[in-house]
Structure 1
Amino acid sequence: MTADPVWKGIEIDAETALAMLAWQSDMGADEPMLDNPVNRFDQPPAPQGNGPGPSTTQPGRAAQQPAAPDTSDDGAAAHVAEAARLARSAGDLAALAEAQAGFDGIEIKRGARNFVFADGQPLARVMIIGEAPGEDEDRQGKPFVGRAGQFLDRMLAAIGLSRDAPDPARAVYIANVLPWRPPGNRRPEPQEIAAMLPFLRRHVELAGPDLIVLMGNTPCKAALGQEGILRLRGQWTTAFGVPALPMTHPAYLLRTPIAKREAWADLLSLSARLNGA
């Protein structure tokens, strides 16, 4: 990657670089671009001819073709269909957790330590949907228990909500789009979201919340088919037939403290909706 003159002589550590990349993603950037334009018409043309030309293959070895990734539409559709069948067969949350834990149509399951289903009060009026478990969540088997989760608890407490509250009116129920940690905490891929969507939809049906909070880009992608959380946040919409409020993820707020002001406005909007305002 060619260095921008602005950054010459400036060293950026890995954490800062990742935060900058996450910020660009949150702003809606979805295509990596080079520093200078590339004229594809200047690329050398492929060899033409009616007959076989001189071989460049080493003697005794067949020409190697790039291996195509295993992303066949038929295979992906079969996984989604199986997920939908399993989700429909679940009559309660315990059965849904068992069905989802046994689903083998998602590769990241093999590298995760624990299946992370949900936390909080299942009868709560508010259901929070996050992205996927991180390292702490993968270790403990519960969603939102790391730094971001602790900050989320403080955010909720500021408007009188808690995952530990016995009263459903003051409680929250928390789940993720993916119940397994992606390798290296990378963002979930479209096929992974599609495979988990039937389980997530059934999860919402069985929990029966009055309101949903979509924490970040991935929940918005799964529930709304949209990304760009900084554009979507604070605007009430509908997800899975339930009023839903997109909000910035607590991890983003920890990286970008100035965004806490907008998050506080979103929390007040959530509180007002709960109180019938």
Structure 2
Amino acid sequence: MISAPDLSAQELSALLHFYADAGVEWLLEDEPVDRIAAFAAAQAERRIAQPQRQAEQSPQAAGSTRQSTSRTAPAPRPAASTGTAVVPDAEAAAAARQAAEGAATLEELKGVLQAFTGCNLKNGARSTVFASGNATSGVMVIGSLPSAEDDRDGTPFSGRQGQLLDKMLAAIGLSRDNTLLTNAVPWRPPGNRTPSPAEIDICRPFIERQIVLAQPKLLLLLGNFAARFFMGEDGTIFSLRGEWREVVIGGNSLPALASFHPQDLLTAPANKPLAWRDLLLFRQRLPI
């Protein structure tokens, strides 16, 4: 068995990052538990209870047990409260729409989003990852979901994928200073799982209000999830990329282009030529 003192600082850091990506929140319980003793006690209880169960299953005992149960059956116990109010999905989505529409500026929307408690994704995330960059640039880059680095730093496109995005933007004359960067969903799902349809419905009003308030002229959608989220199609990024589409947000039609997410390119560098074609196509319509 490997313990922490056996690991180098780099190995321990990698292990902790792995645990965080897997959704592990606590490495130790509040009190030590002797699992071997607990297992032995459970076995002893089963050995003691087995003759009693066999006696109860005999025909004579079964009849008397049914009569006794019918006379003395206790009332069902109420379920224990978990201390967390469960909001139905439809009500949470309606509350999200109302909260988002009440924000008159991006700063107000950020505060509303941080205070919102109607989405399960927020309960497992470290940070509410809001937009960063220039809200008046006319160019909005929207990723899919916050990564582990985004969740840790509270900023979209952090870590290695952010470094690659910086290079992609620089190649067409853009940077974080003249674009607005954000994600379709503001909270990282546990283990990077895909959000459920109900969670998507709850998050949608916030990103749509963000677009309405920023008033971009162009949208660059990065990754499968972001492309499907806005285009309403079930294809892969290979079928959705490389072609301008019109998406309707807040009653307005906006030109949008889908391409590979930087994480996709880190995983499969062979797709970089396709991403470069998309970037060149996007550059052709950049506001001068």
Structures share fold, TM-score greater than 0.5: yes
The yes-or-no answer on 1:104 pairing with 2:117 is yes
Query: Any conservation in 1 of the 2:113–2:128 contact (CA below 8 Å)?
Result: no
Look up the match of 1:206: 213
Classify the secondary structure of the residue corresponding to 2:285: helix
Classify the secondary structure of the residue corresponding to 2:257: strand
Classify the secondary structure of the residue corresponding to 1:155: helix
Task: Tell me which moved more, 177-186 or 261-270.
Answer: 177-186
Q: 1:221 to 1:191 in 2, by over 3 A?
A: farther
Q: Name the CA distance, whole Å, in 2 between partners of 1:126 and 1:275.
A: 8
Gaps of at least 5 residues in structure 1 are 1-54, 62-73, 165-170
In structure 2, give the amino acid aligned to 1:182.
Answer: P
Query: Any conservation in 2 of the 1:188–1:218 contact (CA below 8 Å)?
Result: no
Query: Any conservation in 2 of the 1:111–1:183 contact (CA below 8 Å)?
Result: yes
Q: Please give the residue correspondences for 1:1-277 in structure 2 after superposition, counting only pairs within 5 Å.
A: 75-164=88-177, 171-227=178-234, 228-239=236-247, 240=249, 241-274=253-286
Q: Name the CA distance, whole Å, in 2 between partners of 1:87 and 1:98.
A: 10
In structure 1, give the amino acid aligned to 2:259.
Answer: M
Q: Name the CA distance, whole Å, in 2 between partners of 1:143 and 1:213.
A: 14
Q: Name the CA distance, whole Å, in 2 between partners of 1:238 and 1:199.
A: 20
Q: Deviations over 1:83-116 (max 9, x none)?
A: 1101110000011111111111211211211111
Classify the secondary structure of the residue corresponding to 1:274: coil
Query: Any conservation in 1 of the 2:127–2:151 contact (CA below 8 Å)?
Result: yes
Query: Any conservation in 2 of the 1:211–1:242 contact (CA below 8 Å)?
Result: yes
Query: Any conservation in 2 of the 1:136–1:146 contact (CA below 8 Å)?
Result: yes
Look up the match of 1:49: none
Classify the secondary structure of the residue corresponding to 1:153: helix
In structure 2, give the amino acid aligned to 1:253.
Answer: L
Look up the match of 1:43: none
Classify the secondary structure of the residue corresponding to 2:246: strand
Q: Deviations over 1:132-191 (max 9, x none)?
A: 211111111100012111101100000110012xxxxxx110111111111112222222
In structure 2, give the amino acid aligned to 1:269.
Answer: L
Q: Name the CA distance, whole Å, in 2 between partners of 1:100 and 1:226.
A: 27
Query: Any conservation in 2 of the 1:194–1:222 contact (CA below 8 Å)?
Result: no
Q: Deviations over 1:18-62 (max 9, x none)?
A: xxxxxxxxxxxxxxxxxxxxxxxxxxxxxxxxxxxxx9xxx989x
Q: Name the CA distance, whole Å, in 1 between partners of 2:130 and 2:160.
A: 19
Residue 275 of structure 1 deviates from its aligned partner by: 5.3
In structure 1, give the amino acid aligned to 2:158.
Answer: V
Percent identity for Structure 1 against Structure 2? 44
Query: Any conservation in 2 of the 1:118–1:173 contact (CA below 8 Å)?
Result: yes
In structure 1, give the amino acid aligned to 2:144.
Answer: E
In structure 2, give the amino acid aligned to 1:93.
Answer: L
Query: Which TM-score applies when normalising by structure 2?
Result: 0.66
Q: Name the CA distance, whole Å, in 1 between partners of 2:91 and 2:100.
A: 14
